[in-house]
Amino acid sequence: MIRLELRVPQGWDVVDGGVRTGEDTDRSDLTVTSEGYGMNDLAVTLVRGYTSRSRTLDAELGDVTVTAWGPSDAQSELVSVLEETTASLEVLSEAFDDYPWREFDVVAAPLGSGVGGMEWPGATWIESGLFAGGLPGMAGLEELFGDVDIGALLGDDLYGDLGSLGRGELGSMLETLRLWTIAHEVGHQWWHVVVGNDSLLDPVVDEPLAQYSACIVLRERLGAQADDLCTAHIETGYEQMRAMGDQDGPAARATHEFVSSGQYAGVVYGKAAAFYPALEERYGRDVVVDALGAVTEEHAFTMMTSADLRTAIGEQLDEPVGFDAMWLRWMEQTRGDADLGVDGAGTGGLEGMEGLDELLDGSGQDTEELDRLLGQLLDQLEQQN
């Protein structure tokens, strides 16, 4: 049980992951009281100049109130974020188990380049640029080119370095990046919050399942195109890791055991997340989702290690030996190139970047700045959180 009592000056709003149980206003201060039960963290955000919109979910989910908080001049984005968040909560409550609290807040927050969001019990932060419909920390790229098709400007060399990702798929990934990120962060309400884990020692418990949760949401939202988008969002991170020269490695290990942030992103968010669609191919989509729902219900409000999760899913699938062989291959061995169909040679860099000066000669564009910003863009595609 967590109880928060916080006093702030008038003009500020307090957004937290708990349930608001009291507010008291005097001439100069606002005092709020919030409470949370079964939470392993309670995040608090102080905002000023923000506005909010709320919606109450279906009574079957316990009248959950969802509130989106964003800058006052971002009304249309606020509506879209609220809709995408409520849809994610509804879809994943149906897939796994009911969301357990009465409130959920999603807040625009300045997280910076390469970070799309951050999960908390009962709340999530979405990077301000992404919240507004852009790219996290990438306002400079948008200002530099406006409506210019960057892919057309750079030609096919850049797309060659994006592995199997084609021009159209890259555009679709960018168009669905906010929905994907929101669904991923909402997925953490089940994987890391309801089913707890140490995200530094055992990131393979929650991050791959948050990625897979985003796939479940996209399927409900986008229909036939969702499977290709799910594959692109997951596998691109691994492909880019290999293209940049980082090696495959075991996924089931502590964060500090990875040699770089690129390897961590590619292996945990990419290869390890692709394990769950691979399970679907073997056991069937509904069987896998039902098994994960049973794990959620059985292990709610406990802490799980990767070994615990491995045992629990194998038992639910009623084939511990066959499942165990798949887990070993995807989570503890280095078969990613073969399993994801990636050329393991790696380029150690982006060939399409080498000709930037020539490609943009006479265009008036700052090629050094473009190089930096495009590097950030590719990092973002690798490290969606």
Q: Express each pLDDT in 168-220 by its tens digit.
A: 567 788 889 999 999 999 999 999 999 999 999 999 999 999 999 999 999 99
Pairing of strands 117-120, 50-56: unpaired
| Helix intervals (H) in the chain | 75-95, 128-131, 139-145, 150-154, 156-161, 167-175, 177-187, 203-222, 226-243, 261-264, 272-283, 285-298, 306-316, 320-327, 336-340, 351-354, 356-359, 367-382
Q: Angle between the 320-327 and 272-283 helix axes, to the nearest 10 degrees? A: 150
Claim: this prediction has a pTM higher than 0.95: no
Cβ atoms of 90 and 97 within 8 Å: the answer is no
Cβ atoms of 159 and 378 within 8 Å: the answer is no
The CA–CA distances, whole Å, from 89 to 82, 94, 193 equal 11, 9, 14
Q: Is the pLDDT of residue 19 over 80?
A: yes
Half-sphere exposure for 352 (CA within 13 Å, toward CB): 21
Q: Is the pLDDT of residue 384 over 60?
A: no
- As given in the structure block, the two tokens for residue 239 are 């492909």
Cβ atoms of 81 and 74 within 8 Å: the answer is no
Q: Is the pLDDT of residue 108 over 80?
A: yes
pLDDT score, position 336 = 96
Residue type, 86: T
Domain coordinates of the chain in residue numbers?
1-48, 57-382
| Model confidence pLDDT, tens digit, residues 115-163 | 899 999 999 999 999 999 887 655 444 444 445 444 444 444 433 444 4
**Terminal CA-to-CA distance of the chain, rounded, Å?**
28
Pairing of strands 44-47, 13-16: antiparallel
Cβ atoms of 106 and 127 within 8 Å: the answer is no
Name the CA dihedral angle for 81, 84, 87, 88, rounded to a multiple of 10 degrees.
Answer: -100
Which residue(s) pair with 196 in the sheet?
A: 192, 303
Q: Which residue has the tokens 């919606």?
A: 55
Pairing of strands 117-120, 44-47: unpaired
Indicate the SS3 state at residue 86.
helix
More confident residue, 367 or 299: 299
Question: What average pLDDT does the segment 310-317 reach?
Answer: 96
Nearest-angstrom CA–CA distance, 211 and 188: 9
Q: In this prediction, what percent of the chain has a pLDDT beyond 70?
A: 79
Fold of the 57-382 domain: Neutral Protease; domain 2 (1.10.390)
Nearest-angstrom CA–CA distance, 77 and 60: 27
